[in-house]
Amino acid sequence: MDEDIFEVKKWIQFAQEDYNSAIARAKAVGNPYSPRQVCYDCQQSAEKILKAYTIAKDGARNKEHRLDVLLISCRQYSNDFDVLGVACSTLNEHITKSRYPSDKDITVEDMNDALKCAGDILEFTKSKLAEMGFGTM
């Protein structure tokens, strides 16, 4: 059990670090990072915080990367997660466009959208984890 608590806290920490990285990259003067990298960090943050929740609930180490599938896992424990459906779908779209070269570029608008979605997912899920005694990080 103590191992699970430690692991959940590490997942929360990594999720927050990915989100903080996305914010820093987006704000960098002369931004050497593309919106693509910011979208990637946002998706990673959301993925990790949703996994933290499922580990906290049942110890499951889900290897899934798609946010919509991870959200289904979270909904098994709380229908409150329904509010994250659009944010998860939006980040899934951005990550698909950002991972490989395609004719669809990631725009600054996409980047800002990803930051908002990831922030919403992170804060909501952290609040659910805090209700379980994991506090805020």
Per-residue pLDDT of the chain (137 residues; tens, 9 = 90+): 566 688 899 999 999 999 999 999 998 866 666 888 999 999 999 999 999 999 999 887 888 889 999 999 999 999 999 999 999 999 998 887 777 777 678 888 999 999 999 999 999 999 999 999 887 54
**Geometric angle at alpha carbon 29, from 27 and 32, rounded to 5°:** 90
Spatial distance between the Cα atoms of 49 and 121, rounded to a whole number of angstroms: 8
Q: Where are the domains of the chain?
A: 2-131
Amino acid identity, position 127: S
d(CA 107, CA 94): 10
Q: Which amino acid does the sequence have at 32?
A: P
* Secondary structure class of 1 (helix, strand, coil): coil
What does the alpha-carbon distance between residue 25 and residue 58 come to, in Å, rounded to a whole number?
34
pTM of the model: 0.91
Candidates 1.10.600.10, 1.20.120.330, 3.40.50.720, 2.40.50.100; CATH matching 2-131: 1.20.120.330
Q: For 89, how many CA atoms within 13 A lie in the half-sphere containing its CB?
A: 5
Distance CA 37, CA 76 (A): 31
If we measure between CA atoms, which residue out of 134, 125, 1 comes closest to residue 75?
A: 125
